[in-house]
Structure 1
Amino acid sequence: MSDPYGYHQPHPSPTAPAAAPIERPKTVTYAVYGMWIGGLLTVLSSVFLFTTDTTEMRALMVSEMEKQPTYDPAVLDAQEVADVLVPIIQVGGALFGLITLGLWIWMAVMNGKGRNWARVTGTVFGGLSLAGSMSSLTNIAGNAALGGASMPTSAASTALAIVDPLLVIAILVLLWVRPSSAYFSAVGAERQRQRQAQHTSYYAG
């Protein structure tokens, strides 16, 4: 029966035919595992930051401030400044850790689903992380070699600072080897095929 008002009512568009699920290669699976491990290391790093004895950190801050030629104890009490700065450093580190944890989880989920934009984004984040880690390790090594002062760190924190860049490098390699690239390409092609099928079926109806 024709519509008395002359309007064309489009038929509900059928969904695109389901395709066989694309098998995720082990390289991507291992990269995703690595991202979850990276998130765990971020949590551990934040825990170490709050549980480490800050006495030495405060003493180092006081010592460095008192060495400054413009320092005047009558104007500024170095110990009071250190007592204020250390909690700020801890809270700031915790907030940064939460943001980093969220990025690890986000990248793990999206890369596991084969989103190529997530692989590119994760690579950018990984590059920035490597640059920061290398800078920190270089400063620590340089200060130790020259006998300069550096912020005290626990053995566990130092170990995490070494493990983290190695983990990032391994993840990036796994994401860009040939089986992983083929998987991301296949997922992207399948998503494009489904969008085209839905578009065609809508206008065909």
Structure 2
Amino acid sequence: MTDYPSAPPPGGFNQYGVPNAPAAPPEQQQRGPRPKSVDLAVKLMYVGAALSALSILASLLGIDAIREQLEDQGDLTASEIDTAVAVGVTVGIIGAVVGAALWILNAVFCGRGANWSRIFGTVLGGLAVLFWLVGLTQEQTALSLVLGAVQVVVAAAVIFLLWKPESNRFFKPAPSYR
């Protein structure tokens, strides 16, 4: 009997006809080292979370100012003023907790190179600036004003750092597998 060479195996199989191991899914692929700009942005996001948590204190310290502002309007009863103060402080505290959680969530995922998180963080940073500007039209404590201003500066720095060229390479989407 004569031995004839066999045809090469079809694509996706090794020389013995065994399927090749599948490539790692995108979330398991190794990225290059995280650039310093992203490292700094992630650290600043944790600073932003701490500032959000501090704004809880600002909400609590602003209770008297809120009450005085409502009393100066003169058309609310004592019960309505109490309710408005409680709602205002509660909304402030919930907003601060949600804000801190969003800063932390964004820090974790941006640190992993998730491009969606960088985009989400940019949108949140823009909203932070907008809300701070709207807040300037309302009476607030000096602490609230300063915390808001520092958060806006931190958000702007984070956005700048996340969109630097070296950061862009880190956030480049992994190739898709079909």
- Which stretch of structure 1 is more off in the superposition, 125-134 or 54-63? 54-63
**Map of 1:58 onto structure 2:** 67
Compared with structure 1, are the counterparts of its residues 135 and 29 closer, same or farther at alpha carbon in structure 2 (3 Å cutoff)? Answer: same
Q: With the length of structure 1 as denominator, give the TM-score of the two structures.
A: 0.69
CA contact (8 A) 1:58 1:79 kept: no
Which of structures 1 and 2 has the larger relative contact order (alpha carbons within 8 angstroms, sep 6+)? 1
Closer/same/farther in 2, CA of residues 165 and 94 from structure 1, 3 Å limit: same
**Could you give the per-residue CA deviations for residues 77-118 of structure 1, whole angstroms, max 9, x where no partner exists?**
532211121111111111122211221111111111111111
Instruction: Supply the RMSD in Å over aligned alpha carbons.
Output: 2.3
2:167 paired with 1:180:
yes
| Runs of at least 5 residues in structure 2 that lack an aligned partner in the other structure | 1-17
Tell me, in whole angstroms, the C-alpha distance in 2 between the residues paired with 1:92 and 1:38. 19
1:80 and 1:49 mapped to 2: Cα distance? 20
SS of the residue 1:114 aligns to: coil
- Give the distance between the partners of 2:68 and 2:38, measured in 1 at CA: 46
Structure 1 partner of 2:10:
none
Distance 1:19 1:109, change over 3 A: closer
Task: Among all aligned residue pairs of Structure 1 and Structure 2, give the percentage whose two residues are the same amino acid.
Answer: 29
Gaps of 5+ in 1: 1-10, 72-76, 141-149, 200-205
Change (3 A) 1:15 1:78: same
Specify the SS of the correspondent of 2:113: coil
What CA distance in whole angstroms lies between the structure 1 residues aligned with 2:147 and 2:62?
17
Report the alpha carbon displacement of residue 59 of structure 1 after superposing the two structures with TM: 2.2
Q: What's 1:30 paired with?
A: 40
